[in-house]
């Protein structure tokens, strides 16, 4: 338990914000989540979601976040109500020397045999990773946070000064708005992701990721009742509207990789803007009207890094207590 139970406001109710709220409340703090988007509207709801460091920082600090998050997801996968399943799949490489640093964190990876690779692939790695059915998982996480006594306040935060009387600390998990609210960070930008959601009536379980596909990033992530098929990764694209031709192209690439997708019912087309930054901003930020812990810039790996980020936020808050 902390020396003092601080009043902490978390700005943002996506997967980073909810995970931070969970860990802070579990550590004994009085936590409020300020949000302006429902769970079904946030970019987290569009996530595939598979534990994988996609479009995120490559550094020892990020590796620790990955390890911590993977350990928690593996632990939570033992509870069916979380929506998390450990599933085997293939990550495809198209060139020698592709970044495989993630395999140092995952146990039991195996080199794919040549006959197991899609046409045009150079190599591949088999791995068993957490697959998160986000509709189930976000609902479960929201309930867990509520059970810990976290309060939710809906409304748009226009400036951190409005928090100074109600919070001892603010955790900024506002995704694309993080830099805007701090006023000192112009390095946050969107990476547009468009996906197609299919009915998983064939009970597929094996995932496939081909981030370097010559015709565009391609992935097939079977979840419990649906399959997320992607995708796009267009930087600095703010378009939130579904582009029909893009959906056609996505399905064409994916069906060539996984022929079993042919004929499956299309349930939905979705677009999300991943909040990217050259490096994750996870630190105490001084010079603000209220002490601030920044927790944004996770790119396409918000879910993947969520629990590790939340644990680090608790440590940063404890550091503030120690220096106060």
Residue 20 DSSP class: H
Report the length, in residues, of the chain.
324
Instruction: Supply the pLDDT for residue 46.
Output: 80
User: Is 197 strand, coil or helix?
Assistant: strand
Answer for the pair 221, 303: CB distance below 8 angstroms, yes or no.
no
Tokens representing 298?
Answer: 């996770």
| pLDDT band (50, 70, 90) for residue 323 | low
Q: How many other β-carbons are positioned within 10 Å of the β-carbon of residue 35?
A: 23
Res 109: pLDDT: 97
**Would you place residue 56 in the very low, low, confident or very high pLDDT band (cuts 50, 70, 90)?**
low
Output the pLDDT for position 230.
93
User: pLDDT-based confidence at 234, cuts 50/70/90?
Assistant: very high
pLDDT value, residue 262: 96
pLDDT in tens, 278-311: 899 999 998 999 999 999 999 888 999 999 999 9
If you average pLDDT over residues 5-9, what whole number do you get? 96
Evaluate if residue 59 carries a pLDDT over 70. Answer: yes
Query: Cβ of 324: how many Cβ atoms within 10 Å?
Result: 10
> What pTM was computed for the model?
0.93
Give tens-digit pLDDT for 127-166: 999 999 998 999 999 999 999 999 999 999 999 999 989 9
Axis crossing angle, helix 134-147 with helix 15-26, rounded to the nearest 10? 30
Q: 29, 52 in Cβ contact below 8 A? A: no
Report the candidate in 14, 10, 7 with the shortest Cα–Cα distance to residue 28. 7
**CB hemisphere CA count around 4 (13 angstroms):** 12
Q: Do 195 and 250 form a contact (C-beta atoms < 8 A)?
A: yes
Measured at the CA of 19, the angle between CA 15 and CA 24, to 5 degrees, comes to: 150
Q: What is the pLDDT of residues 66-92, one digit of tens each?
A: 999 999 999 999 999 999 999 999 999
Domains along the chain with CATH numbers: 7-323 (3.30.9.10)
DSSP 33: E
């Amino acid at each position: 338990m902390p020396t003092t139970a601080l009043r902490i406001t978390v700005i943002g109710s996506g997967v980073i914000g909810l995970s931070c709220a969970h860990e802070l409340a579990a550590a004994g703090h009085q936590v409020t989540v300020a949000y302006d988007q429902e769970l079904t509207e946030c970019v987290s709801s569009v996530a595939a979601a598979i534990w994988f460091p996609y479009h995120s920082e490559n550094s020892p600090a990020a590796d620790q976040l990955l390890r911590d998050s993977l350990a928690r997801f593996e632990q939570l996968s033992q509870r069916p109500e979380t929506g998390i399943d450990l599933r085997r799949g293939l990550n495809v490489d198209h060139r020698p020397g592709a970044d495989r640093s993630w395999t140092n964190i995952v146990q039991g990876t195996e080199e794919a045999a040549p006959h197991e690779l899609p046409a045009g692939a150079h190599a591949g790695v088999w791995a068993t990773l957490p697959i998160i059915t986000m509709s189930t998982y976000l609902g479960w996480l929201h309930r867990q946070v509520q059970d810990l006594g976290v309060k939710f306040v809906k409304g748009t935060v226009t400036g951190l000064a409005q928090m100074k009387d109600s919070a001892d600390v603010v955790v900024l998990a506002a995704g694309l708005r993080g830099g805007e609210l701090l006023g000192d960070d112009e390095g946050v930008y969107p990476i547009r992701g468009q996906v197609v959601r299919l009915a998983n009536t064939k009970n597929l379980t094996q995932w496939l990721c081909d981030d370097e596909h010559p015709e565009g990033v391609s992935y097939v992530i079977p979840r419990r009742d649906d399959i997320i098929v992607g995708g796009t990764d267009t930087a600095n694209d703010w378009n939130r509207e579904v582009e029909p031709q893009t959906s056609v192209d996505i399905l064409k690439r994916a069906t060539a990789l996984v022929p079993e997708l042919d004929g499956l019912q299309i349930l939905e087309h979705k677009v999300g803007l991943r909040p990217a930054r050259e490096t994750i901003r996870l630190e105490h930020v001084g010079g603000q009207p209220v002490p601030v812990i920044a927790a944004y810039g996770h790119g396409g790996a918000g879910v993947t890094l969520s629990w590790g980020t939340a644990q680090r936020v608790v440590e940063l808050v404890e550091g503030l207590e120690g220096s106060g």
